[in-house]
Each structure stands twice: as C-alpha cells, then as structure tokens.
Amino acid sequence: MARTVYVNGDYLPETEARVSIFDRGFLMADGVYEVTSVLDGKLIDFAGHAARLTRSLAELDMAAPVTMDELLTIHRELVARNGINEGMVYLQVTRGNPGDRDFAFPDPAKTPSTLVLFTQDKPGLAANPQAKIGLKVISIDDIRWGRRDIKTVQLLYPSMGKMMAKKAGVDDAWFVEDGFVTEGTSNNAYIVKGNRIITRNLGNEILHGITRAAVLRFAREAQMEVEERAFTLAEAATADEAFITSASAFVMPVVQIDGTAIGTGKPGPVASRLREIYLDEMRKAAV
C-alpha cells in the first residue's frame, strides 16, 4: 500500500507527491530537517524536535511554514493514516521554489517555504538486537562545514562516511577534527570512564542532539557524572565504554573503534542502563 505523505498542506499517496525541480532544497541543499521517533504509535520528544527546528529555521532566516501546533497535528495525522506503531516521521522544510536558480535568497513574501513530511515504518525499532551486540566504528576526518549545529539537509559527507564504514566492514564512523572526536555520522558520541560520561560540549562543531539532551538529563538524575568536553581517540581507546545517541538509535553501545575493542568489547552497563531509562521515560512522556 502506498504511503500517505504530506506536501505543503496536502495529504497524498507518495506516488502523487510533487516538489519543483527549482526547489532550493533540491538545487542548493537549502533546507533543514527533523526525524522524530514513534513508539507505541506516539511521538518521542516532539517538543525537543520542534524547538530545534525553530532554531534551525531562525539561524538560516527561513520562515516556519506552519505553527509548531499545526506541525504536531500533521505528525499525528501521518502516524494515524499510515498505521505506524514503531518508526519515524521525517520532516523537511526548504526555502521553497523561486521559479529559477539563483544564489541569492528569494523574498520570503513571494516564495513560501516547502514543507514535506513522510513516515518510515520500523517495527522492532526499540527492540533493535544491535543494542545487545554494539556497533563497530572507524574514525574519519571531519571535513563538514562550520555550522553543524544547524540540522541542514547537506548530508553528502555523512553519507560518504557511512560508505567508508561499510567498505571497512564496520557499522559507522566517528568524525575527528584537530585530534578530537566531534560526533558520529548521524549521532552524538560518548565515552564512559567509571561513573563519568564524557561527550563533546555544545558549539557549532556538533549537532545539538535532542536525544543527547534527554540522556544527559537522565544520567545526572541517576547520579552519574557528566563531563561535556572534547575527547581524543586515544582517550576513547582506554575508556570503559563508548556509545552513541540519536532519535532513532536511542542509546546504542559502541564496542570497537578503529579495530580496538572498547572496555570488554561488549556493550557496557552504563550504555545499557541509559538505553533502558531513556526508552522508559520517553515512552511515558510520548504524545
């Protein structure tokens, strides 16, 4: 059955959805996005994603196409129409279709932004068996642009990073800049030393993960120490544990970096506990 998707005010079968070839998302990667997970048919941390979307739009002088309340309604409608129990809702806003190609931003009064949403059905998302095995990662140079805090659709280098990982026979890649780990290709990166969780501090160098914010809050509430600072690969190699977070992977252990086993080489207790707490708490607060 064809998915029902949302394009600029209309709910349509995916085969009938259309966006112009002049859309700046297509021509210039001039767009931002969010991915919100769905568990038990409900949205996980919608408020967090809406707040980050608002910030991404503001940083790029892009108008919000609808209010955040309307956006919640659209998310829920798509989840219901597509019968999603576990999965994701992908949302993208672009600077729209000015009718031709031009580097200068169009007048927002004349060129409304484009809003597209679609669902991804992922049964078993929360019970992902990978959480019991952990991920293997390689490190690669972080050559992305300088505003990684804005969640733009320029995902070519992260895609290349995933391909480098695939070619190396591992699951993902961690970006390294000036000797320090920034983040994963599509997730935030952490190491654990004893009761201490270490993750890159917020700045323009990393995406401000919505899952990161929630997990650090839960970690502090569980009396774990949190250090938000840069760490090196050498430090990661001698850590007790490592893990990543993202809206669709939640908390996922990392058991090997560049061929070196981290800790016991198996998912550690801190990552496993944080995953459990995160899923429990977020299910309770889902809307």
Residues annotated as catalytic are 151
Q: Which two tokens stand for residue 80?
A: 């219901």
Q: Is 186 in the site for ligand PLP (CB under 6 A)?
A: yes
- Of the candidates 160, 188, 156, the one whose C-alpha atom is nearest the C-alpha of residue 174 is 188
Instruction: Report the candidate in 260, 253, 193 with the shortest Cα–Cα distance to residue 229.
Output: 193
Task: Please name the amino acid found at residue 88.
Answer: M
The piece of 131-139, 164-172, 207-215, 272-280 that touches ligand PLP (CB under 6 A) is 207-215
Q: Which stretch binds ligand PLP (CB under 6 A): 22-30, 103-111, 184-192, 263-271?
A: 184-192
Provide the mask over 144-183, with x wherever binding to ligand PLP is found by CB under 6 A and - wherever it is not.
Answer: ---------------------------------------x
Residue number with CB closer to ligand PLP (94 or 186): 186
> Could you tell me which residues come within 8 angstroms of residue 251 by beta carbon, excluding any fewer than 6 positions away?
131, 211, 215, 243, 244, 245, 271, 274, 275, 278
Structure tokens at 77: 């409608």
247 binds ligand PLP (CB under 6 A): yes
The least distance separating ligand PLP from the CB of residue 16, rounded to whole angstroms, comes to 28
Number of residues that bind ligand PLP (CB under 6 A): 12
**CB 274 within 8 Å of CB 215:** yes
What value does the CA radius of gyration of the chain take, rounded to a whole number of Å? 19
Can you state the angle between helices 210-221 and 269-285, rounded to 10 degrees? 110
210 binds ligand PLP (CB under 6 A): yes
Which of 122-130, 202-210, 227-235, 253-261 is the region at the interface with ligand PLP (rule: CB under 6 A)?
A: 202-210
94 or 211, CB closer to ligand PLP?
A: 211
Q: Does 209 bind ligand PLP (CB under 6 A)?
A: yes
The Cα–Cα gap between 128 and 225 comes to: 27
Q: Count of alpha carbons within 13 Å of 165, Cβ hemisphere only?
A: 24
Please list, in sequence order, all residues whose beta carbon lies within 8 angstroms of the beta carbon of residue 164, skipping any fewer than 6 positions away: 138, 140, 173
We find the least distance from the C-beta atom of residue 224 to ligand PLP, in angstroms, to be 18
**Contact between 271 and ligand PLP per CB under 6 A:** no
Q: Does 215 bind ligand PLP (CB under 6 A)?
A: no
Site residues (CB under 6 A) for ligand PLP, limited to 92-151: none
User: Would you count residue 251 as binding ligand PLP (CB under 6 A)?
Assistant: no
Judged by the rule CB under 6 A, the positions of this chain that interact with ligand PLP are 183, 186-188, 207, 209-212, 245-247
